[in-house]
Amino acid sequence: MSNLLVAPFLDRARDQPGATAVVQGSRRVTYGELEQRSFVLARHLVELGATPGDRIGIALGKSIEAVVAVLAVLRAGAAYVPLDEQSPPDRQLSVLADCAVRGLVATRRSRQRLGWGPSGPRLGHAAAGACPFVVELDREPAPATGGRGERGDPAQPENDEAAAYVLYTSGSTGAPKGVVMSHRAARAFVDWAVKRFELGPTDRIASVAELCFDLSVFDVFAGLAAGAEIHLVTPDLMLRPPRLVAWLDEARITSWYSVPSTLLLLLERGDLARRPPSALRRVLFAGEVFAVPQLRRAMQALPAARFFNLFGPTETNVCTYYALPPALPAEATAVPIGWPCDHAEVAVLDPEGRPVTQGSEGELCVGGAGVMSGYWGQSALTRAAFWPAGTVSGLGPLYRTGDRVRQGSDGQLWFLGRRDRQIKHRGYRIELGEVEAVVAGVPGVLESAVVTRPDPEQGAGLCAVVVPAPGEKVTVLAVKSHCGKVLPAYMVPSTVEVRDSLPRTSTGKVDWLRLR
Amino acid sequence: MSFESIRHFVVSEFLQGHRAEDLDLDQPLLSSGIVDSVGTMKLVLYLEQEFGIVLDSDDIASDQLDTVRSIGALVEGKLAARASGE
């Protein structure tokens, strides 16, 4: 089927088998090798029992093997579910259990971290029945024989409405939820991105985001669809901004896509302005608001690059974008989120689902080919997240983003804030309610609240304010290590304040304003 | 000697409000979520600048950065190797 997510990659593998596809440090694979390796692994997955429509977990850090695994899962007709290695094992296990994966592709190390034996989950765990096999990629199956690029996939999904991937994101009620993206939705974004950013075989794309973050869909799938070279930004590079800046130049990276805070690390700790990477001509950012003063500095540091603001939650992937002018106007205090992408239908609606008058504030609602199929196994939550088809005459179902926006007379959209208590921290989406539910469970805590505080380096930091129960002692360490057992590191409050009481309004409610 | 400086750095950077001497040398830092990825970056930068050592990819990928005790041992090892090499 031509509309599957791997189809453009397979075309490129046939056209340019000897071209470099993925580079990791001193290792690289060509398009032909990647096709071959993903075929062999896909066949292996099918032999182990993977069938079209299954979900298969990926517990692999950024590596050539992870790209092989993602392609192989798709070529086995299944959907990939990337785990967040930053998350505690129990949270990763709950993801595997929630979407009932058929199998897991891991390394020995990541498999052991989950507490699993070589043949699967430990007995008695909720995911045990659902996950009958584990493939360790340290021992990849033997290479296939036969002509390269001429064979089809070992298995295919029924149609392009089948799931291609499931990404888990913070949920306001305390448990993460799985966003299901179909092949059709993923392809709508990928095809648009290749065309809009004019990606091609001469591009060298820095792959910054982890697989569990939807920015990676651009790096991996738009990159492979374009026949480009994908250069993986490995953890040791991420931890050393000066080295990362030097690497960008040495690897002659042409395209960068990250959250603004990662770009800021390069500016502030990597001396980007003094050593601008010579080939970099495209900088895409998404995931959080880029404050104009810092954005200005980034643009001045990279005068040869075009900057693009991409916008959209995991549920829609990118739905609007804005191409920045070469220099921001001196009076600019914000950057618009721009215009809808070709694959997106956008409406700005009031709480009753009626379009607001032009220039008024409303909720950004998104339809079209790029929108998710729903939350895995949560039909009520999915229904609540959409306005039904026909709410706006002529438009299909519209996903309610929860983002407050305003549309200018030129049709351009501006982001104003959230309707709820969801925040962005280094591009990660965090429901404060989820963190609060965990902090409230710290032994000895009587009452608590979680708020954001300005952080000079990271935009905003999470702060937990806790009040110990009479006679109890609650330490900063106790709060942090309790949170770290349940939440990924980016959701663990960076500061903890132990107080005698929470500030209250005259009516006795928690006074949020005085907590900030 | 390096243990105390490392412990002070960890507390002042990641556990503000905690007493340095109350931080167990074997308390997991990275695997417990107390230090996140940006925190790990700050930690690596601190160790390299404070002790004049260079951590390679293997040091960073290993579990040796997880506790004050193992970080201290890593630093001491690097310093000893450098002293004997000179």
Q: Under CATH, to which class is B2-85 assigned?
A: mainly alpha
Inter-chain CB proximity A481 and B33 less than 8 Å: yes
Residue A128 pLDDT: 47
Inter-chain CB proximity A484 and B60 less than 8 Å: no
Inter-chain CB proximity B17 and A457 less than 8 Å: no
Q: Which two tokens stand for residue A305?
A: 């690059």
Inter-chain CB proximity B33 and A495 less than 8 Å: no
Residue B86 pLDDT: 58
Inter-chain CB proximity A235 and B60 less than 8 Å: yes
The C-alpha of B48 sits at a distance from chain A's nearest C-alpha, in angstroms, of 11
Residue A101 — very low, low, confident or very high, per pLDDT cuts 50/70/90? very high
The C-alpha of A492 sits at a distance from chain B's nearest C-alpha, in angstroms, of 7
DSSP A426: T
- On chain B, the residues whose CB falls within 8 A of the CB of A235 are 37, 60-61
CB A407 within 8 A of CB A339: no
- Cα dihedral A318, A315, A455, A421 sign: positive
- On chain B, the residues whose CB falls within 8 A of the CB of A247 are none
CB A325 within 8 A of CB A298: no
Q: Is A394 exposed, middle or buried (0-12, 13-18, 19+ CB in 10 A)?
A: exposed
With a cut of 90, say whether residue A136 has pLDDT above it. no
Interface residue ranges in chain A relative to chain B, Cβ cutoff 8 Å: 86, 88, 234-236, 238-241, 265, 269, 426, 457-458, 475-477, 480-481, 483-485, 487-490, 492, 494-498
Residue B15 — very low, low, confident or very high, per pLDDT cuts 50/70/90? very high
Residue B57 pLDDT: 75
Name the residue among B19, B14, B8 with its Cα closest to residue B36.
B14
β-sheet bridge partners, residue A462: A452
The C-alpha of B77 sits at a distance from chain A's nearest C-alpha, in angstroms, of 20
Q: What average pLDDT does range A293-319 have in this prediction?
A: 96
With a cut of 90, say whether residue A421 has pLDDT above it. no
d(CA A345, CA A358): 16
- On chain B, the residues whose CB falls within 8 A of the CB of A487 are 33
Inter-chain CB proximity B60 and A269 less than 8 Å: no
All domains of chain A in start order, with CATH: 7-232 (3.40.50.12780), 343-418 (2.30.38.10), 422-515 (3.30.300.30)
d(CA A35, CA A334): 44
For the segment A160-200, what is each residue's pLDDT rounded down to a tens digit? 999 999 999 987 766 789 999 999 999 999 999 999 999 99
- Residue type, position A246, single letter: A
- On chain A, the residues whose CB falls within 8 A of the CB of B53 are none
Task: For strands A103-106 and A133-136, give the pairing.
Answer: parallel
Torsion of CA A208, A214, A215, A221, to 10 degrees: 90
d(CA A59, CA A469): 40
Helix and strand element counts for chain A (H, E): 16, 26
Its ipTM equals 0.82
Inter-chain CB proximity B40 and A239 less than 8 Å: yes
The C-alpha of A182 sits at a distance from chain B's nearest C-alpha, in angstroms, of 31
Residue A66 pLDDT: 97
pTM of the model: 0.90
CB A253 within 8 A of CB A230: no
With a cut of 60, say whether residue A144 has pLDDT above it. no
- Residue type, position A217, single letter: V
Q: Is A135 exposed, middle or buried (0-12, 13-18, 19+ CB in 10 A)?
A: buried
Q: What is the mean pLDDT of chain B?
A: 89
Cβ count near A470 (within 10 Å): 5
Return the higher-pLDDT residue of B12 and A151: B12
Q: Which two tokens stand for residue A490?
A: 């980016």
With a cut of 90, say whether residue A41 has pLDDT above it. yes
CA distances from A138 to A31, A64, A257, A335 (A): 21, 12, 29, 45
Q: What average pLDDT does range A410-427 have in this prediction?
A: 90
Inter-chain CB proximity B40 and A477 less than 8 Å: no
User: Measured between CB atoms, which of B28, B32, B37 is closest to A238?
Assistant: B37
Inter-chain CB proximity B60 and A481 less than 8 Å: no
**E strand or H helix at A167, and its extent?**
strand A163-169
Least confident of A23-32, A101-110, A439-448, B56-65: B56-65
Q: Is B70 on the interface with A (CB under 8 A)?
A: no
DSSP B20: G
For the segment A362-398, what is each residue's pLDDT rounded down to a tens digit? 999 999 999 999 999 999 999 999 999 999 999 999 9
Least confident of A270-284, A308-322, A450-464: A450-464
Name the residue among A87, A258, A78, A61 with its Cα closest to residue A176.
A87
Q: What average pLDDT does range A80-91 have in this prediction?
A: 90
CB A455 within 8 A of CB A268: no
Name the residue among A153, A137, A18 with its Cα closest to residue A67.
A137
